[in-house]
């Protein structure tokens, strides 16, 4: 699986460069639009570093894409059948968060993702990552704490949370065991 992650990271780096260049943006333009430093963007585009989930969300938002939409463009596939061996997998270098894109097509309104959140890991995504989507989270195993602004939800196996209006949201696994959950997204 590490080779699959490495291959996808390289394609993702190329896609970010292509998205920036197709808009005629300089590194400074993308930095201004996303709030990510020019040096970081340059390293990401050269595949010298793997971007964190938070940085990817900022870059995707600058391109007026969801994170899943950016990843779909990096994968460049639009088949109806999504074979497990072909599903893009990405690991956040900061948290170890492992994301697998189960299903995504540009002509289909639903996207499915599974996430494995390591023990004691957390990730905060900005409200901008939810502007163009509606989503719900369904916990498969472990415990997941989701904090939307000041509202805190603790979810166990089988629990499902539909998200409210866009707001900064923290996903946290406060336990000593990994947590696995499914994210279902619909473009709004």
Does the predicted TM-score (pTM) go above 0.75?
no
CATH number among 1.10.260.40, 3.40.50.300, 1.10.10.410, 2.60.120.10, domain 2-63: 1.10.260.40
Domain with CATH 1.10.260.40 in the chain: 2-63
Choose the most confident range, by mean pLDDT, from 55-64, 103-112, 124-133: 55-64
pLDDT: which is higher, 34 or 66: 34
pLDDT level of residue 9 (50, 70, 90 thresholds): confident
Closest CA to 68 of 97, 26, 38, 103: 103
Provide the sign of the torsion angle of the four alpha carbons 156, 159, 160, 163, taken in this order.
Answer: negative
Q: What is residue 153's DSSP assignment? A: E
Asked: is 84-187 a CATH 2.60.120.10 domain? The reply is yes
Domain with CATH 2.60.120.10 in the chain: 84-187
Asked if 134 and 186 touch (Cβ cutoff 8 Å), the reply is yes
pLDDT at residue 83 in the model? 87
Q: Is pLDDT at 40 greater than 80 in this prediction?
A: yes
Q: How far apart are CA 63 and CA 20, in angstroms?
A: 8
């Amino acid at each position: 699986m590490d080779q699959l992650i490495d291959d996808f990271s390289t394609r993702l780096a190329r896609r970010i460069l292509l998205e920036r260049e197709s808009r005629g943006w300089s590194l400074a333009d993308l930095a201004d639009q996303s709030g990510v430093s020019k040096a970081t963007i340059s390293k990401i585009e050269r595949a010298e570093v793997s971007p964190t989930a938070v940085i990817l969300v900022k870059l995707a938002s600058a391109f007026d894409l969801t994170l899943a939409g950016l990843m779909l463009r990096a994968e460049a596939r639009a088949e109806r059948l999504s074979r497990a061996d072909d599903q893009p997998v990405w690991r956040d270098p900061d948290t170890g968060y492992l994301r697998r894109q189960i299903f995504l097509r540009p002509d289909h309104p639903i996207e499915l993702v599974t996430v494995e959140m390591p023990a004691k890991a957390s990730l905060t995504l900005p409200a901008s990552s939810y502007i163009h989507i509606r989503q719900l989270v369904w916990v498969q195993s472990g415990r997941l704490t989701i904090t939307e602004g000041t509202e805190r939800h603790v979810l166990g196996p089988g629990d499902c949370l539909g998200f409210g209006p866009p707001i900064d949201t923290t996903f946290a696994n406060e336990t000593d065991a990994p947590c696995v959950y499914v994210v279902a997204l619909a473009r709004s």
